[in-house]
Amino acid sequence: MDPQLKSYFSFSRKERLGLMGLVSLIILLWIATFCMRYFVHAPANEEEVQLRLAWQQMQIDDSSSELHPSLVPNELFSFDPNTLDSTGFIRLGLNERTTHALLNWRNKGKHFYKKEEFGALYSLERKEYERLAPFINIANTAPNQYSQQYSKQYEVPLPNEININRVDSATLVRMKGIGPFLAHKIIERRKSLGGFLNHAQLLELYHFPDTTFDYLRAHLIINPTEIHKININSATEQELSIHPYIGEKMAHNIILLRSGLLKFDKKEQLRQVPLMNEEKYRKIATYCTIE
């Protein structure tokens, strides 16, 4: 081989190690990219999960048919748009986007009193409405007192400031970025905590986009004096364990320490509890009292 040509394929020990490291890094990045699809998933609310499951089931049903999936006809049947679930709408042939919009509209208080109102759904094409219109069967076309009051509720504008420790779920779902599923989670978290102390606690429930979180922080007010505190000198182990910041192990250790001390003379004694660190103490102590 030509010595000059040979020099291009000769590497020093450091160059060989560097080349091996580069190849290894490329392989690791390729493996990581391939595996991310199995570990990283976009956040989804309860309705989206149900819709995806329904679509998957429909695809399974179509693939088991002797016909090509694109040739399988949509199933038409009598339905009430006020009560039909996501699976039913998909069986009728509505796409995922239209189904999600319809359910979201319904969750915000929409009630169909006549079939023409169903055609007002912005994502529903006219020809699609005409295909479904003969099968729309609304059980009760007369607005009742409850539905009138419910519709009027959504005509009233939201106040600029809403007390997060007193607000109900019906008001929460009207706020930007909060649907029925998140509203329920916020109410349940408030009960288990004893009330919210700061807005950052909302991020423990869901990773809100920055714009949505800024909106919630601007409109949801917090009064720390309204929280319900746990008396650590009288609470049972069960009562302590259901608090999100305490849990079963910590509750058990608190009861053991209380038995040894006979009673807590000051909250700072919680620092002596096994497994307690400063961060946990800071979060737990604000929800505790010795009186």
230-289 has the same fold as 157-226? yes
Average pLDDT, the chain: 79
- For the four alpha carbons of 252, 257, 262 and 263, in that order, the dihedral sign comes to negative
Bridge partner residues of 220 (DSSP): 162
Assess if CATH 1.10.150 describes domain 157-226. yes
Q: Which CATH class is domain 230-289?
A: mainly alpha
* DSSP codes joined into one string, 147-184: HHHHHHHHHSPPPS-EETTT--HHHHTTSTT--HHHHH
* Residue ranges of domains in the chain: 46-147, 157-226, 230-289
Helices marked H in the chain: 3-8, 13-39, 46-63, 86-92, 96-107, 115-118, 126-132, 145-155, 169-172, 180-193, 210-219, 237-241, 247-261, 278-285
> Is the pTM here over 0.95, yes or no?
no
The stretch 38-43 carries a mean pLDDT of 51
Q: Residue 211 above 50 pLDDT?
A: yes
Q: For position 174, what pLDDT does the model report?
A: 85
Q: For position 117, what pLDDT does the model report?
A: 78
Q: For position 130, what pLDDT does the model report?
A: 85
Q: Given pLDDT bands bounded at 50, 70 and 90, which one contains residue 70?
A: very low
pLDDT greater at residue 30 or residue 238? 238
Q: For position 269, what pLDDT does the model report?
A: 95
Q: Residue 51 above 80 pLDDT?
A: no
Report helix, strand or coil for 121: coil
- Residue 245, phi then psi, degrees to nearest 5: -90, -5
Q: Residue 228 above 80 pLDDT?
A: yes
